[in-house]
Amino acid sequence: MFDRARFIDDCVKTVGEGEDAISELVAAAVADSACVIAELGEPTHAGINTLYRAPNLTIINFVWAPCMILMPHDHHMFSVVGIYTGREDNVFWRRTTGGIEACGAKSLGVGDVTTLERDAIHSVLNPIGKMTCAIHVYGGDFFAPPEPRSMWDHETLVEQGWDVERVKAEFAGAEARFNAGRDTTTVAAGQQA
């Protein structure tokens, strides 16, 4: 059974052992999605929900809006991602002389876990029409890393400085767009009845 306080405590005790040890904890946590939802609550809004934050460890419950896309970005620390409801598609990127280029992808479903190395660059897509929830554990302070992070424009792939407020706005905007489309569909279905 997933217990938020115990999971955080286990991560705090284990983070010094590295991403493999954290990956085992995340895999055990997301193995029973119903327990995670019971402990963290049904997802109602997209967002970045911090469960724990310290200089050497950040634990976030990400709730991705339906059909949301987050631009390519880096972390400068390892990251372990575990999905407990929905689907998360990752596109991996590598630096080139002129910017970045796609170099791989991985699709994660309920119970899946993946580890991103310290220098990974990825973008994230929730390809389905419902909220996707994932526990992300970072080997550092996600919000104040020791070296500046980057993100890349969706269209131009131009690199810019990481802006967490812009990322939070992306979550809110994705949810608003989905809800606006759902409201339009509901109205149209009501008019046809």
Domain residue ranges of the chain, discontinuous segments joined by +: 4-192
pLDDT, tens digit only, all 193 positions of the chain:
899 999 999 999 999 999 999 999 999 999 999 999 999 999 989 999 999 999 999 999 999 999 999 999 999 999 999 999 999 999 999 999 989 999 999 999 999 999 999 999 999 999 999 999 999 999 999 999 889 999 999 999 999 999 989 999 999 999 898 888 765 544 444 555 5
Do the Cβ atoms of 80 and 19 come closer than 8 Å?
A: yes
Geometric angle at alpha carbon 14, from 27 and 37, rounded to 5°: 40
Do the Cβ atoms of 44 and 123 come closer than 8 Å?
A: no
Within 8 A by CB and 6+ apart from 66, the residues are 126, 128, 129, 130, 131, 174, 178
pLDDT at 182: 61
Q: Which residue has the tokens 């990956």?
A: 23
pLDDT at 192: 56
Do the Cβ atoms of 72 and 103 come closer than 8 Å?
A: no
Does the 4-192 domain belong in CATH 2.60.120.10? yes
pLDDT at 191: 54
